[in-house]
Amino acid sequence: MSNIVDARNLSCPEPVIMTKKAMDNNPDIDLITIVSEKVAQENVTKLATSQGYQVEVEEKEDGIYLYLKKSDAMVESAQDDVAILVTNQFFGQGNEEIGQLLMKNFLYTLTEVGSSIKNIIFMNSGVYLTCEGSPALEHLKALEDSGVEILCCGTCLDFFKIKDILAVGNITNMYTAMEILTSASKNITL
């Protein structure tokens, strides 16, 4: 038995919220979520896998169908994971030149410490760090290559009109960001 969530033509985070409600209301059955765009597909897939579902994707003429099957495998524990929220392209307040240098050094240091950082979420002007021309791009790509999930606020990218120059990470929404921040064992906000 499957429950169908029709989230076509809805903007994020609505498809994620609708899918999460269906998961909560029907924890023992498989789900089918139908979306219209790739970003919604990616966001629903991330939610589903974080909740212990296996996801199969089928693109049809009338939408993208995500078949969510409850997995017997345990969802990875958030016991030691750290989430970092970056809300500014500069580290701290004050002089922007030193703030830019400190941010670059902070991100470089993350590549060297080999810690338990699982996610770095970029919001507001912090999204500039993930775009072409960023002085920290090399370090963010190294972090992503090492398994750190880099997430960028889609609303912020749209607001600053820089979505087309995103160079590292994936686009996310506030619901997914909040879910990561509230489930991580530790948070760092810059």
Tens-place pLDDT, residues 119-148: 999 999 999 999 999 999 999 999 999 889
Domain shared by 103 and 159, yes or no: yes
pLDDT at res. 75: 43
How many Å apart are CA 13 and CA 163, to the nearest integer? Answer: 17
Full domain range(s) for residue 86: 82-189
Give tens-digit pLDDT for 146-172. Answer: 889 999 999 999 999 999 999 999 999
Whether residues 31 and 117 share a domain: the answer is no
pLDDT, residue 76, reads 45
* pLDDT value, residue 83: 93
Mean pLDDT value of segment 68-95 = 77
- Rounded to two decimals, what is the model's pTM? 0.65
Please check whether residue 77 lies inside any domain of the structure.
Answer: no
The tally of CA atoms less than 13 A away on the side-chain side of residue 63 is 18
Which of 41, 70, 99 is a domain's end point? 70
What mean pLDDT do residues 36-53 have?
89
- Mark which of 70, 93, 123 sits at the end of a domain: 70
- For residues 62-76, one letter each, b for 16 or more C-beta atoms within 10 angstroms of the residue's C-beta and e for the rest, the string is ebbbbbbebeeeeee
Mean pLDDT of all residues in 10-17: 84
First vs last C-alpha separation in the chain? 45
